[in-house]
Amino acid sequence: MAKEKKVDFNDYMKILLKRKWLLISCLLGVLTSVVIINEITPPIYEADTLIVFENLNNPVNFAMPFTSNIKRSFLTNQIEEIKSRSLSFEVYDALPDSIIHTFPLPRRRTERFDLRRFVSKQIQERVSAVTKANSEIIHIRVEAFSPAAAQIIANTITTVLQRRNLDVRREGASNVRGMIEDQLIVYKTALDESEKALKAYKEESKITLVDKEAEEIFRRITEAEVSYNQSQANLQAAEQRLDFIKSRLSERRAEIVPSVTQITSPLASQLKQQLINLEVQVTMLRVQDYSNDHPKIRELEKQIDQAKKNLRDETLKIAQGEDLVDPISEITRYMEQILTLEIEIETYKAQEKALHSVIEEYESRLHTIPDKELHLAQLLRDKNVNEQIYTMLLSKREEAKIVEAEQQGDIRIIDSAQRTKDPIKPKKMLNLFLGVVLASMCAFGLIFLLEYFDASVSTIEEAERITNLNVIGAIPRLDLNSKKRIKKKADVELAATNGKYSPTLVMHYLPQSIEAEAFRTLRTNLQFSLSDLTSKVSLITSSYPSEGKSTIASNLSISTAHMGLKTLLIDADLRKPIQHTLFKLDHDAGLADLVLNPHFFEDKVKSGTAKQVFSEHYNDGAVGAMEAMRHESKNDLQHRIDAIQAVVRKTGIPNLDIITCGQRSSNPAELLNRRSMQTVIDTLRDQYDVVFIDTPPINVVIDAGILSRYVDLSILVIRVGKSNEKDIMRAKSLLKQSKAKSILLVLNHVIGQNGYSKYNYYYSS
């Protein structure tokens, strides 16, 4: 279970320093990836253009205005048309080959690969369009793989849009003009016949005028008939236009929406009847000479516009509910026009019905007029009606001709696309910045997540809290500068002495460094921890390998030797010895040879030999026997001292000797557990001021536990960031079980601990 940690800002900095390589690796990895992506990603350039729709109505308008809702939806449809597949194909056809070849092609292409379709799709995906607020202006943006391609594609899109718009206007105008010309023939014939009939009747009846009452009735009925015929003409024009649009629509999709007349929705039927009633009311008022500005007329027209809008919305809702609306912009535009025309057709039918009823009413009043005057009035009416309709058709035909001859449609280009120098993608600096931010966030998150689940010890306080033992020293990790300085001095010594010591001996190579000062502090605290002058022997171990116990043992020995104390370092790690390597010595004779010497280590005082000596001198008295035993003990001690001196090696450092491990043993634990091992330690206690014993990790083998019974002090080395609570407590438990007299802790590989960085000024040489 992860331990809870209370940290401040300095603790956060220590955590980051401890795992700085993870942070650096994340930053380098992400930044390298971003740089590679920036380099291999082809640059994307953008060009934009502005267009405006200046006239959204049919140029040859037979009273068929689009409602305001149509005007708004028209721009939406145009945007969809700009982004449509059909327009991208036309743009492709208009582009030069040099621009088409700027698009990167897939490496693997089958025989069915269609270049036109592939590039058109690329164009479609890289075109965007939006409307400017409260205007009919559309902003078109195009992305491409070169500045020239972006500019030419954007301008080509506006050219294709203008041509499309002009073609639609011309086709519509041509269609309407054909219908008008057909009607002109009909009404020209009718006008000629009505004029001839009127002239003949006047000559025959000798009547040229009618009375005022009859004249007023005929005037109104003439106006009604003109409006009636105009409604019929408008109806025919709308139907002609509807047929034309449906024919165009059938090329895209057949029967995309139901006809308004086919809608069976109750609300739609109610709206159609409301529209008819309103048209009848307006028609009656106009026949009664109400002006278009009259409040009643204006109110009814508002109601008619609202009824048309409601009917159109209901029609669209039904069409969309039946999944008949196609998302393609061109088809959607045709749908809008079809719905609008069908609503207008219903309106004209309503007007036609209302005018027909008005005409019938006035015709019933004509029966009160004398027959001759009645017949004259009827002829005058026919002639006037045909004349007005014929004049109106002539005017509409001229308008249609003008539209057909136009060279510019409703679209006007405000700003043409210009060539840009800098690509919009990839945004290298932004990508680098985002990469750094992302890498930092990921690294920080990973570092603190690892720290949260990290059970390793990192501070002195934490080690003391966990173990309830005192920490007598904190050895900092060698920084890069210290390593360089050690290497430099080691190289000099290597040239002079053929490589005397290992570079890990900081006390020898950098005696004025902060690391060396940490060992002096450890030495001083160790002295304070020894109870009396007889407490001289200390054991150094760790929970697991690679925690730095051997390095600490060697440097601590050098530190006490520098103090003038006669110091001995014993390498009791008979499995993987290292002290002889640090001091560049051989280990042919050492601790194992000393313990295994059967001749020298016969304990004659405590064995049967002592009894034999006592018996042989019994006749001389008890005093003679005891004197003989003391003489024998002195001889044994001298033999032991001589044997120790035979394996003790000089390190070349004043006051520091070393006993290496000696010959390898297949059973190190049994060897160290011999009584002779205690005899060696007791003998050395009297020969040296301080003795340090480097032992194997106690959690791995029990060697340190065996030796802890013979020493005065056991030092447990804890490596910051590696030794965890469980391992440390197990090591403590094993030492306690082995009856270790006293246990102290040393922290190794500390980062910025105990303020060592503050001493750089004094220990920089």
Helix runs in 68-210, H state only: 68-82, 85-94, 97-100, 115-125, 147-205
Long-range contacts of 460-467 (CB under 8 A, 24+ apart): 460/747, 460/753, 460/754, 463/718, 463/728, 463/745, 463/747, 464/745, 466/725, 466/728, 466/729, 467/728, 467/729, 467/732, 467/745
Q: Tell me, what's the pLDDT at 156?
A: 94
Length of the chain in terms of residues written: 765
Q: How far apart are CA 399 and CA 402, in angstroms?
A: 5
- Give the count of beta carbons closer than 10 Å to the beta carbon of residue 762: 10
Helix runs in 470-606, H state only: 480-497, 506-509, 514-529, 549-562, 579-582, 591-595
Q: Tell me, what's the pLDDT at 622?
A: 47
pLDDT at 626 over 60: no
Mean pLDDT value across the chain = 77
Poorest-confidence range of 33-47, 315-329, 411-425, 600-614?
600-614
The 10s digit of each residue's pLDDT in 472-490 is: 999 988 765 666 667 666 6
Q: Tell me, what's the pLDDT at 337?
A: 67
SS3 127: strand
Q: How far apart are CA 505 and CA 400, in angstroms?
A: 105
Q: Tell me, what's the pLDDT at 120?
A: 92
Backbone angles phi, psi at 288, to 5 degrees: -85, 20
Q: How far apart are CA 590 and CA 671, in angstroms?
A: 13
Poorest-confidence range of 122-136, 278-292, 470-484, 699-713?
278-292
Poorest-confidence range of 105-114, 256-265, 306-315?
256-265
pLDDT at 624 over 50: no
**287 close to 358: Cβ distance less than 8 angstroms:** yes
Label residue 408 by pLDDT band (50, 70, 90): low
- Read off the amino acid at residue 490: A
**325 close to 204: Cβ distance less than 8 angstroms:** no
Q: Tell me, what's the pLDDT at 322?
A: 44
**447 close to 22: Cβ distance less than 8 angstroms:** yes
Residue whose C-alpha is closest to residue 576's, from 503, 515, 661, 646: 661
The 10s digit of each residue's pLDDT in 38-62 is: 888 889 999 999 998 775 444 455 4
Residue whose C-alpha is closest to residue 415's, from 158, 163, 161: 158
Residue with more model confidence, 402 or 88: 88
- Give the count of beta carbons closer than 10 Å to the beta carbon of residue 414: 13
Residue whose C-alpha is closest to residue 602's, from 634, 636, 635: 636
The 10s digit of each residue's pLDDT in 149-199 is: 999 999 999 999 888 888 877 777 777 777 778 878 887 888 788 878 877
Q: How far apart are CA 116 and CA 39, in angstroms?
A: 29
Poorest-confidence range of 192-206, 225-239, 365-379, 694-708?
365-379
The 10s digit of each residue's pLDDT in 647-669 is: 899 998 999 999 999 887 778 88
Q: Mean pLDDT, to the nearest integer, of 728-744? A: 92
Q: Tell me, what's the pLDDT at 559?
A: 94
**718, containing H or E segment:** strand 713-719
- Read off the amino acid at residue 171: E
% pLDDT > 70, the chain: 73
Cut 0.85: pTM above it: no
Residues near 498 by Cβ (< 8 Å), separated by ≥ 6?
A: none
Residue with more model confidence, 176 or 468: 468
Our CA angle for 28, 31, 37, nearest 5°, is 140
Q: Mean pLDDT, to the nearest integer, of 330-342? A: 64
Label residue 294 by pLDDT band (50, 70, 90): confident
pLDDT at 743 over 60: yes
C-alpha distances (whole Å) from 460 to each of 464, 467, 731, 753 are 6, 11, 17, 9
Q: How far apart are CA 762 and CA 765, in angstroms?
A: 8
Residue whose C-alpha is closest to residue 580's, from 697, 694, 717, 714: 694
Of the options 1.10.10.60, 3.40.109.10, 2.60.40.10, 3.40.50.300, the CATH number for the domain spanning 458-602+647-753:
3.40.50.300
Q: At what angle do helices 85-94 and 147-205 cross, to 10 degrees?
A: 110
DSSP assignment of 390-416 equals HHHHHHHHHHHHHHHT-S--SEEEEE-
**486 close to 502: Cβ distance less than 8 angstroms:** no
| Ranges of each domain in the chain | 9-40+430-451, 42-206+412-425, 211-368, 458-602+647-753
